[in-house]
């Protein structure tokens, strides 16, 4: 009998990762490609056809690796960033570039929705509509690109688009779709008032079910393109932060995972949907069991830290960058909103102090987020994951500033392993 493996596609904001993983969490193959996002000031867009080609190549490379040639694929599991979508026609052809979750163009639309939806925080998992939400940006499309909006038959999220291209079926999951601003957790369906505001119906969106429950087989055409002998099911396993949290060790209410990737995300399990939320908090459906999650985030943490690294420490490591905080921990808190012109300094000391001030800004926010989570649930274990945890100096700083024991599990591979956890938990 052939040994069985999972293929996992983890769509993050910095990288698309793909890996072959066994049920006992052995990673046999892992590849990644840079997420092909286009940024212009505050707009973040994605060529979805290029995205799919990139993801397909990654899947092919993993499946054709010599180490898995004699193994059998159980399923392909998808986890992804939330709120990134593209309008498509009836044949699922993109009508323009997709809009990435980081994009803030829909400020007016978010303000309008806030005025219209007085009971929003009670059912949506959000304090109020935000510019980065799927719901706000669809309204922006309606207001600013009427021809595209009129010709759009569907508005798939990025994980739904990938699943459709692999299977020819359009389906979503409550964890990812639940973060869109469109979902009503009391009714367990898309909010009707929002649909009316958008002049859309439920038929314009995916068939939504619990994560890792609904699936569809890869199409016959895709089977041939991927050069596999059999057709296997494709499951949506929730958003990438849920998977990363599970892979990093999150199991029980009170556990917190802190993922340091493109965003800084604090993820904790709660027994109920949290409705008393700040603007930088989201509550939603945890992809395992009947629990919910509470997510606190700083969307630009990794992006800004990476800018400092590439501009001021190009030939050094992140350890050298984070060391500036240890050397200059008494500096005033700085702003993370800086231009390239702000990164020109007279002395090395000035540059180092600037870095330390930005790091201090994010550390202060991290401490505040943990205090806010503590108001909702008794904190038990803190797990760290994400690419930044490869910096031993950054981990040293976190341990010192939090005054708590922290556990590092799986680091940057947490999302791949978490997808397997989510699948197996829902299968049992």
The model's confidence at residue 180, banded by pLDDT at 50, 70 and 90, is very high
pLDDT at 345 over 70: yes
**Matching residue, tokens 């930088």:** 280
Instruction: Give me the pLDDT at residue 428, please.
Output: 66
d(CA 223, CA 166): 9
Give residue-wise pLDDT tens across range 2-22.
689 999 999 999 899 999 999
Give residue-wise pLDDT tens across range 134-148.
999 999 999 999 999
d(CA 29, CA 10): 14
Considering the chain, what is the average pLDDT of its residues?
A: 93
Judge if pTM exceeds 0.75: yes
pLDDT at 322 over 80: yes
Distances (CA, A) of 248 to 107, 128, 198, 202, 255: 34, 30, 38, 35, 11
Distances (CA, A) of 76 to 5, 55, 107, 216, 317: 9, 12, 36, 10, 35
Tell which residue, 371, 395, 211, 388, has the closest CA to residue 308: 388
Q: What is the DSSP letter of 383?
A: E
Q: What is the DSSP letter of 382?
A: E
Other CB atoms within 10 Å distance of the CB of residue 239: 33
Give residue-wise pLDDT tens across range 234-265.
999 999 989 988 888 888 888 898 988 888 98
Q: What share of the chain is helix, strand, coil (3-state, %, to 5)?
A: 40, 25, 35
* Percent of the chain clearing pLDDT 70 (strictly above): 98
pLDDT at 409 over 70: no
d(CA 269, CA 373): 10
The model's confidence at residue 300, banded by pLDDT at 50, 70 and 90, is confident
Instruction: Give me the pLDDT at residue 404, please.
Output: 82
Contacts of 166 (CB under 8 A, 6+ apart): 76, 218, 219, 222, 234
Cα end-to-end distance, the chain, whole Å:
22
pLDDT at 78 over 60: yes
Instruction: Give me the pLDDT at residue 385, please.
Output: 80
Packing angle, helices 318-327 and 301-312, rounded to 10: 100
Q: Give the 3-state secondary structure of 99-134.
A: ECCCCCCCHHHHHHHHHHCCCHHHHCCECCCCCCCH
Other CB atoms within 10 Å distance of the CB of residue 336: 18
Residues comprising the chain, all counted:
428
d(CA 64, CA 121): 47
Contact criterion met (CB below 8 Å) for 226 and 218: yes
Give residue-wise pLDDT tens across range 362-404.
999 999 999 988 888 888 889 888 788 889 999 999 999 998 8
The model's confidence at residue 36, banded by pLDDT at 50, 70 and 90, is very high
**Which tokens belong to 295?**
């997510």
Instruction: Give me the pLDDT at residue 73, please.
Output: 94
pLDDT at 410 over 70: no
Contact criterion met (CB below 8 Å) for 270 and 245: no
Contact criterion met (CB below 8 Å) for 261 and 278: no
d(CA 106, CA 140): 6
Distances (CA, A) of 213 to 86, 285, 428: 24, 14, 11
Q: Domains in the chain, please, with CATH? A: 4-240+417-427 (3.30.420.40), 253-408 (3.30.420.40)
Instruction: Give me the pLDDT at residue 164, please.
Output: 98
What one-character-per-residue DSSP string does 26-90 give?
Answer: -EEEEEEEE--EEEETTEEEE-HHHHHHHHHHHHHHHHTSGGGTT-EEEEEEEEE-SS-B--B-T
The model's confidence at residue 88, banded by pLDDT at 50, 70 and 90, is very high
Instruction: Give me the pLDDT at residue 1, please.
Output: 53
Q: From the CA atom positions of the chain, what is the Rg in Å?
A: 21
């Amino acid at each position: 009998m052939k040994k069985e493996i999972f293929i996992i596609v983890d769509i993050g904001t910095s990288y698309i990762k793909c890996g072959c993983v066994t049920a006992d969490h052995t990673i046999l193959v892992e590849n990644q490609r840079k997420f092909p996002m286009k940024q212009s000031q505050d707009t973040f867009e994605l060529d979805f056809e290029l995205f799919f080609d990139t993801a397909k190549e990654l899947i092919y490379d993993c499946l054709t690796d010599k180490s898995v040639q004699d193994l059998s694929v159980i399923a392909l599991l998808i986890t992804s960033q939330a709120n990134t979508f593209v309008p498509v026609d009836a044949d699922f052809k993109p009508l323009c570039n997709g809009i990435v979750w980081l994009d803030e163009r829909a400020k007016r639309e978010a303000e309008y929705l806030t005025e219209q939806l007085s009971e929003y925080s009670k059912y949506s998992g959000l304090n109020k509509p935000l510019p980065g939400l799927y719901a706000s940006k669809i309204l922006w499309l309606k207001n600013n690109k009427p021809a595209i909006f009129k010709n759009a038959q569907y508005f798939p999220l990025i994980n739904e688009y990938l699943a459709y291209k692999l299977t020819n079926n359009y389906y979503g999951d409550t964890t990812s779709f639940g973060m869109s601003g469109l979902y009503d957790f009391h009714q367990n369906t898309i909010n009707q008032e929002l649909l009316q505001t958008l002049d859309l119906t439920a038929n314009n969106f995916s068939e939504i079910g619990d994560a890792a429950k609904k699936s569809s087989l890869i199409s016959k055409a895709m089977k041939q393109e991927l050069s596999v002998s059999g057709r296997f099911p494709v499951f949506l396993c929730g958003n990438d932060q849920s998977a990363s949290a599970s892979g990093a060790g999150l199991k029980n209410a009170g556990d917190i995972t802190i993922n340091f990737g493109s965003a800084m995300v604090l993820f904790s399990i709660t027994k109920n949907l949290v409705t008393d939320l700040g603007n930088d908090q989201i509550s939603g459906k945890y992809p395992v069991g009947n629990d919910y999650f509470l997510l606190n985030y700083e969307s630009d943490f990794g992006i800004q830290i990476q800018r400092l690294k590439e501009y001021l420490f190009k030939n050094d490591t992140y350890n050298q960058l984070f060391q500036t905080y240890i050397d200059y921990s008494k500096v005033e808190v700085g702003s993370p909103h800086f231009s390239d012109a702000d990164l020109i300094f007279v002395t090395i000391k000035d540059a180092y102090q600037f870095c330390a001030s930005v790091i201090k800004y994010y550390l202060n926010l991290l401490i505040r987020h943990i205090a806010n989570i503590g108001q909702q649930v008794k904190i038990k274990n803190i797990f760290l994951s994400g690419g930044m945890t490869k910096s031993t100096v950054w981990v040293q700083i976190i341990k010192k500033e939090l005054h708590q024991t922290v556990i590092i599990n799986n680091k940057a591979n947490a999302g791949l392993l978490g997808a397997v956890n989510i699948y197996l938990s829902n299968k049992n």
